[in-house]
């Protein structure tokens, strides 16, 4: 996303290839925009009815088809001072990131717990009690990460140090995948039957989606690696 001056305002060009909650009847989307003249990127609010803004048809997702996920293309979209949420995205992002990622993490927690509930039901019926141990371990790990999330959000620590929040997001996405995998073990062949396995298949696809939600796990791990490199002795950066 880039911006150039035009009279008293700015004209924006670019594309947002993947945006969720773009209801066809109307929406506003926040975007980070780089100025062609340099300086800090800013954050703008763009309206669905803005001239030059086009919304694609919903993306052909293999799951989560009700999320109104589409692409947005901008060509000479005019914005004024009233459309700018913050003049410096680097200052704005740390303030909103804890709540933003915290809400994303809720999906991992809910999915993991539902999968474990289903696992308990299956082993009660099928005698797969050997899975009791992993259920207890995964439940405890989910609780620990959730407690760490609430503590960091309540104290405001994540606004100053994002790395612990990134680690929680990564850990809970991985725990959700492990929980759904355990449900598959408990379900056995029933998970592949069109009738009895329908709900499991949905959870399996949702678990597969967690690693690629922006910011993806790869992006978060890369950010953590950069943070660790900057914090090493001799890098000139504080730990």
Instruction: Please tell me the pTM assigned to this model.
Output: 0.86
pLDDT of residue 68: 93
The answer to whether position 103 is within a domain reads yes
pLDDT of residue 124: 80
What is the CATH classification number for the domain harbouring 97?
1.20.140.10
pLDDT of residue 239: 42
pLDDT of residue 63: 76
Mean pLDDT, residues 160-168: 95
pLDDT of residue 214: 86
Mean pLDDT, residues 33-59: 94
Is 205 found in the same domain as 149? yes
pLDDT of residue 22: 94
Q: What is the pLDDT of residues 201-239, one digit of tens each?
A: 999 999 999 999 889 999 999 999 999 998 877 655 544
Domain boundary among 86, 121, 147: 86
d(CA 118, CA 111): 11
- Which pLDDT band holds residue 195 (cuts at 50, 70, 90)? confident
Q: What is the pLDDT of residues 67-114, one digit of tens each?
A: 899 999 999 999 999 999 999 999 999 999 999 999 999 999 999 999
Is 110 found in the same domain as 42? no
d(CA 79, CA 12): 7
Domain boundary among 46, 64, 86: 86
Is 167 found in the same domain as 60? no
Helices (H), the chain: 89-126, 132-155, 157-160, 163-187, 198-209, 217-231
Torsion of the alpha carbons at 141, 166, 204 and 29, rounded to the nearest 10 = 140
CB 152 within 8 A of CB 161: no
The answer to whether position 175 is within a domain reads yes
Mean pLDDT, residues 30-59: 94
For CA atoms 173, 179, 182, 188, the dihedral sign is negative
Is 110 found in the same domain as 76? no
Is 154 found in the same domain as 128? yes
Is 113 found in the same domain as 74? no
Question: Which range marks the domain in which residue 134 is found?
Answer: 92-231
- Which pLDDT band holds residue 51 (cuts at 50, 70, 90)? very high
The number of domains in the chain is: 2
CA gyration radius, the chain: 22
Is 72 found in the same domain as 183? no
The answer to whether position 11 is within a domain reads yes
The answer to whether position 237 is within a domain reads no
Is 173 found in the same domain as 154? yes
Is 62 found in the same domain as 98? no
Q: How crowded is residue 140: how many other Cβ atoms within 10 Å of its Cβ? A: 10
pLDDT of residue 146: 97
Domain boundary among 52, 86, 120: 86
Q: What is the mean pLDDT of the chain?
A: 92
Is 100 found in the same domain as 23? no
The token pair at 11 is 């004209």
Share of the chain above pLDDT 70, in %: 97
The answer to whether position 236 is within a domain reads no
The answer to whether position 238 is within a domain reads no
The answer to whether position 239 is within a domain reads no
d(CA 99, CA 102): 5
pLDDT of residue 236: 52
Is 97 found in the same domain as 70? no
Is 219 found in the same domain as 194? yes
Q: Which residues fall within 8 angstroms of residue 104, CB to CB, at 6 or more apart?
A: 169, 213
């Amino acid at each position: 996303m880039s911006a150039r001056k035009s009279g008293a305002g700015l004209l924006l060009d670019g594309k947002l290839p993947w945006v969720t909650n773009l209801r066809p009847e109307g929406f506003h989307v926040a975007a980070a925009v780089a100025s062609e003249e340099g300086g800090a990127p800013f954050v703008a609010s763009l309206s669905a009815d803005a001239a030059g803004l086009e919304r694609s048809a919903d993306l052909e997702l293999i799951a989560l088809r009700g999320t109104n996920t589409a692409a947005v293309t901008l060509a000479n979209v005019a914005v004024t001072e009233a459309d700018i949420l913050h003049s410096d995205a680097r200052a704005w992002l740390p303030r909103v990131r804890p709540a933003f990622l915290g809400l994303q993490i809720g999906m991992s927690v809910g999915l993991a717990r539902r999968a474990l509930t289903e696992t308990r039901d299956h082993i009660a019926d099928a005698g797969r009690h050997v899975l009791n141990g992993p259920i207890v371990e995964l439940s405890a790990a989910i609780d620990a990460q959730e407690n760490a999330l609430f503590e960091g959000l309540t104290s405001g620590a994540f606004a100053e140090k994002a790395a612990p929040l990134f680690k929680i997001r990564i850990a809970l996405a991985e725990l959700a995948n492990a929980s759904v995998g355990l449900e598959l073990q408990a379900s056995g062949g029933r998970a592949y039957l069109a009738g009895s396995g329908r709900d499991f298949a949905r959870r399996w696809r949702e678990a597969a989606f967690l690693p690629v939600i922006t910011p993806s796990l790869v992006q978060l791990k890369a950010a953590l690696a950069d943070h660790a490199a900057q914090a090493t002795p001799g890098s000139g950066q504080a730990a």
